[in-house]
Amino acid sequence: MSLNCSMWQDNSMSVKHFAFAKFSEVTEQCFLLFTLILLMFLASLTGNALIALAIWTNPVLHTPMYFFLSNLSFLEIGYTCSVIPKMLQSLVSEARGISWKGCATQMFFFTLFAISECCLLAAMAFDRYVAICSPLHYATRMNRGVCAHLAIVSWGVGCMVGLGQTNYIFSLDFCGPCEIDHFFCDLPPILALACGDTSYNEAAVFVVAILCISSPFLLIIASYGRILAAVLVMPSPEGRRKALSTCSSHLLVVTLFYGSGSVTYLRPKASHSPGTDKLLALFYTVVTSMLNPIIYSLRNKEVKAALQRTVGKKKILTHRMMKR
């Protein structure tokens, strides 16, 4: 059912308020999806927060690889918090509206965290490349200053792209319809609501997406190409296994993140459909964020041990407080 946008237009007939489309007319389906997303959201927040806490409270994990992993956990927390709360509200409430400024803010933060994660994953791949291909120079090449600069650049690129894309999209006129056929204010569904011919705007957004997604991905491919070449010439099978094991978690995360992101933003427009887009949106905003802490904690003995120590300390503190 289409919404009447007249109440959300100003004197210039420009829409200043949007509303998310209802997921289903069947209430039970909405509540089921609400429950599933809420559980995955809480699991994602808990897992990423525990990993960040474990890294910062365990000196043995104060290395470049885990410094980037803690940044990744913070990005995942911000990534999900920028879209999931409003998504949950829209599923079970009739108050599915969002203001023009609120939509722009959500798009900015979502883009910031997503692009920053692309860059950070590339930085993590470079870290593994230096560790495996130049182990004798690892401490000097990946010192604290270099790691901090790589993290700042990742966040900075995300911020600049977020500001640029959001300003570009919301400088367009929106004269109706005002219903967003999506779970949150993502670029394609908002661009579809703009007035007039937006083919030029869509092409510009597509080019930026290719540059921002493909450039870090090519750096990741190049890093792992050099890593594979270095591993193949290692004389010891145990050395090869150990080298590859330090990369397996990162490779899984890259596959999940870039796989869903590429299918969503880089596939032809003709193959887009609201149902498929929503399903992909759920995957790359909720499922991947929930799986990342599981991947790193299950496949990394150091992280697993640190998590056990961190949770153990919390239990001891809770027990002491209850005794008092």
- The number of C-alpha atoms within 13 Å of 318 and in the hemisphere containing its C-beta is 6
DSSP 51-117: HHHHHHH-GGG-SHHHHHHHHHHHHHHHHHHTTHHHHHHHHH-S--EEEHHHHHHHHHHHHHHHHHH
- With respect to residue 314, please indicate whether it lies within any of the assigned structural domains: no
What is each CA distance from 210 to 166, 199, 206, in whole angstroms?
A: 17, 16, 6
Looking at the chain, list the stretches that DSSP marks H as alpha helix, in order from N- to C-terminal side.
27-57, 64-81, 84-92, 100-133, 138-141, 144-169, 187-191, 199-232, 237-265, 274-282, 288-298, 301-323
Closest CA to 16 of 169, 168, 170: 170
Please, which pLDDT band fits residue 250 given cuts at 50, 70 and 90?
A: confident
Q: For 221-248, what is each residue's pLDDT tens digit?
A: 999 999 999 888 888 888 788 878 878 8
- With respect to residue 263, please indicate whether it lies within any of the assigned structural domains: yes
Say what the pLDDT of residue 271 is.
60
Q: Which residue has the tokens 């609201």?
A: 274
Residues 265-301 as b or e (16 or more Cβ within 10 Å = b): beeeeeeeeeeebbebbbbbbbebbbbbbebbbeebe
Query: What CATH code is carried by the domain that includes residue 155?
Result: 1.20.1070.10
- With respect to residue 11, please indicate whether it lies within any of the assigned structural domains: no
Q: What are phi and psi of 202, to 5 degrees?
A: -65, -40
Q: Distance between CA atoms of 157 and 163, rounded to whole angstroms?
A: 10
Query: How many structural domains does the chain have?
Result: 1
DSSP conformation class of 170: T
Q: Distance between CA atoms of 91 and 183, rounded to whole angstroms?
A: 9
Closest CA to 288 of 153, 100, 118: 118
Q: What are phi and psi of 62, to 5 degrees?
A: -85, 65
Q: Is 20 helix (H, G, I), strand (E, B) or coil?
A: strand
Average pLDDT over residues 107-126: 93
- With respect to residue 21, please indicate whether it lies within any of the assigned structural domains: no
Compute the CA torsion angle 81, 87, 90, 93 (nearest 10 deg). -50
Please check whether residue 249 is in contact with residue 295, taking contact to mean a CB–CB distance below 8 angstroms.
Answer: yes
274 or 5: whose pLDDT is higher? 274
Say what the pLDDT of residue 269 is.
63
Please check whether residue 224 is in contact with residue 251, taking contact to mean a CB–CB distance below 8 angstroms.
Answer: yes
* Domain boundaries, position 265: 27-309
- With respect to residue 203, please indicate whether it lies within any of the assigned structural domains: yes
Q: Distance between CA atoms of 242 and 220, rounded to whole angstroms?
A: 20
- With respect to residue 15, please indicate whether it lies within any of the assigned structural domains: no
State yes or no: pLDDT of 302 exceeds 50.
yes
Say what the pLDDT of residue 268 is.
65
What does pTM read for this prediction? 0.86
State yes or no: pLDDT of 113 exceeds 60.
yes
Please, which pLDDT band fits residue 197 given cuts at 50, 70 and 90?
A: confident
Q: Distance between CA atoms of 302 and 308, rounded to whole angstroms?
A: 10
State yes or no: pLDDT of 11 exceeds 60.
no
Q: Distance between CA atoms of 130 and 112, rounded to whole angstroms?
A: 27
- With respect to residue 267, please indicate whether it lies within any of the assigned structural domains: yes
DSSP conformation class of 287: I
- With respect to residue 31, please indicate whether it lies within any of the assigned structural domains: yes
% the chain with pLDDT above 70: 86
Residues 305-324 as b or e (16 or more Cβ within 10 Å = b): ebbeebeeeeeeeeeeeeee
